Structure 1
Amino acid sequence: MGEVTNIMALENLQVHFPGRGGMLSNLFGRPAAHVRAIDGVDLTVRRGEILAVVGESGSGKSTVGRVITKLVQPTGGKLVFDGRDMTSVEGLALRPYRHRVQMIFQDAYQALNPRHTIFDIVAEGVRSLHLVSGHEAIMQRVAKSLAAAGLNAPQDFFARFPHELSGGQRQRVVIAGALAVEPELIVADEPVSMLDVSIRAQILQVLIDLRTQRNMALLFITHDLPVAWSIADRIAVMYLGRIVEIGSADDITFNPKHPYTVALRDATPKVRPMINADPLPGLNGEVPSAARIPTGCRFHPRCPLAMDRCRQEEPPVVDVGPHHQSACWLAGTSQHS
């Protein structure tokens, strides 16, 4: 078996958005606090693997996906793809990167132009990147992509418009549009959260099959831990713009070492009955804004097992098992099992 290589790496990635100051701040000229959407993320995606990034709304997981697909420019850190630093690459120089990295958005209806036919939507990337020439070749590429996304008799969809399709069919068209350029990495941002449970399972199976058939890497962004476990090889848990735990899908789901991961697991009725463990306090309220949290207590506001030490210094990321890491002062103790 050959050595496992990484296709993508994030190194100390940071994304800070300027906040809006209040009336008094504007009056006295005080600078508005920045929202730290991502605050020092180190993450790798291996060739041909499915890595799930899990966290609740506001954790920064979607921003990670948008940085990887070059929709958001990072404030600091590096984005390395296939050994090349892509952090500052822009404009026409991004064309080869667009061919190799694609994104599947959460809201398929918003992602599809209602004025375009399904054929034109799926063919858009092929045409703009000049991947094939001639109408016949483009038709073959579009038909192949629609079929790979699970739409049988793909020619029947060529002349149809998005409003004529079901939610599941629209999501398959979005997947087909990404597949048409034959990428090596796809970032899927909550691709099944708006679908019925039965359709959700079908879409997940499509993504799993595509990974097997094309040796394609997939970064799967979700708030749903059971969904992540069902599809991913590894799971990274995000909280307040940082990775607090990462490991195999089984380890993160059934043997978490960070209390935030435990709380996410216990909040999910589909996973909890499978685990024999003492309950921990749940997560209450909204994720606090990173702009309002002083340095040294980032993990205190909602961490179920936060202690005084959390107020003084951030816990380092430590190894808690084979290929399993956690950022918690209590990592490795029985309180997390």
Structure 2
Amino acid sequence: MPDSVDILRLESLQVHFPVQGGLFDRVLGRPAGAVRAVDGIDLNVRRGEIVALVGESGSGKTTVGRVITKLAQPTGGRLLFEGRDMTSVQGSSALRPYRNRVQMIFQDAYQALNPRHTVFDIVAEPLRSLRLVENNGQLTERVSEALAAAGLNPPGDFFARFPHELSGGQRQRAVIAGALAVKPELIVADEPVSMLDVSIRAQILQVLVDLREKHNMALLFITHDLPLAWLIANRIAVLYLGKLVEIGTADDITFNPRHPYTVALRNATPQIGSNADRRELPALQGEVPSAARIPNGCRFHPRCPMAIDRCRQEEPPAVEVGPQHLSACWRTGEVNARSELLRLAPL
């Protein structure tokens, strides 16, 4: 079980990407815009906890993960790791201790693996670059441990294989082994099972849960799949257009959502049984608005079936709607959230 100590804390985190204006913008002196990919989120991850970051494509989930792993620099806010401000720390030598403790699992395993390197060299690379081993004996031992922990057994059978000689599930396990080799305390997993079939998915998720239980490792699990988040996470944070719109325990977010967007995500999930009590709110229409042209009021209102005039003028604050349960909506109290458990389809 997670303890009460925060290993990671994001405070008002912002990531804005500048947008170059056209010729007329430059002639008329119009200011260049910006894509507000992440726009002031507050999030904490406790040691030994699995937090799922859920949202549809374009919501800013991967950008948050890249900032945490120092692959992208925030525009504003702070990134705290065990209370130390890591926001402005840059450079390979300065980041070496941090990257020894924080690793990322990428979504596309095939793209994350160098096709010219063997599995042994792929897993050994972070150990060599971070200078964590003193000789070849230690290197082989650490690589074997990582492969075994990721479920590639016996490890020696995979040393000389190349990525194209592995199945999809084995490639994803090799990516996980590369992250585990340095024995991190926090892993950011960016859609680690979205490209795998259902049977392999369950195996990979079990590997991640086992690692948390054995090593008290924290995990930020990025996904667009709400039932998947419920299966693995202690808490779920729902991200929409760079803002956290709801956060709470996995059960509260899945079975008692208090934000219309979370309800829409839940209602999009296939269910078994009668459809008599299916939808409390109409399904969302259209695409996610451009992050470069976010409305002044509630950024969710162009797609929200419950939008009111106030939504077009003001952005709602996050308010407490239950123990450890926050929701940012002017009509949070009016969302008809059923208390009984929904029957979700098997993953």
* SS, match of residue 299 in structure 2: coil
- Alpha-carbon displacement from aligned partner over 1:116-149 (angstroms, at most 9, x marks no partner): 1100000011111111211011101001100100
The 5 A counterparts of 1:85-164 are: 85-91=85-91, 92-164=93-165
Letter in 2 for 1:130: R
The 5-angstrom pairing of residues 1-337 of structure 1 reads 4-91=4-91, 92-270=93-271, 276=277, 278-337=279-338
CA distance in 2, matches of 1:243, 1:170: 32
SS of the residue aligned with 1:182?
coil
TM-score (norm 2): 0.93
Aligned length: 337
Comparing 183-192 with 270-279, which one deviates more in the overlay?
270-279
Whole-Å Cα distance in 2 between the matches of residues 100 and 275 of structure 1? 49
Mind listing any 5+ residue stretches in structure 2 that lack a counterpart? Answer: 339-347
SS in 1 for 2:248: strand
C-alpha distance in 1 between matches for 2:72 and 2:163 = 27
Q: Normalised by the size of structure 1, how large is the TM-score?
A: 0.96
SS in 1 for 2:48: coil
Offset at residue 268 of structure 1 (A): 1.2
Per-residue deviation, 1:334: 4.7
- Check whether the contact 1:259–1:336 (CA below 8 A) recurs between aligned residues: no
Quote the Cα distance in structure 1 between the aligned partners of 2:165 and 2:154: 16
Residues 334, 106 of structure 1: alpha-carbon distance in 2 compared, 3 angstrom cutoff? closer
Distance 1:273 1:264, change over 3 A: farther
Q: What letter corresponds to residue 69 of structure 1 in structure 2?
A: T
C-alpha distance 272-324 of structure 1, shift in aligned 2 (>3 A): farther
5+ residue gaps in structure 1?
none
Per-residue deviation, 1:277: 5.5
Q: Distance in 2 between matches of 1:259 and 1:167?
A: 36
Q: Distance in 2 between matches of 1:273 and 1:227?
A: 22
Q: Which amino acid aligns with 2:43?
A: L
2:341 aligned residue: none
Structure 2 distance, partners of 1:273, 1:59, is: 32
Inter-partner Cα distance in structure 1 for 2:326 and 2:274: 25
- RMSD over equivalenced CA pairs, Å: 1.8
1:252-306, CA deviations, whole angstroms, 9 ceiling, x for partnerless residues?
Answer: 0010000000001101114897995643111222110122123223121122311
Counterparts of 1:123 and 1:197, CA distance in 2: 29
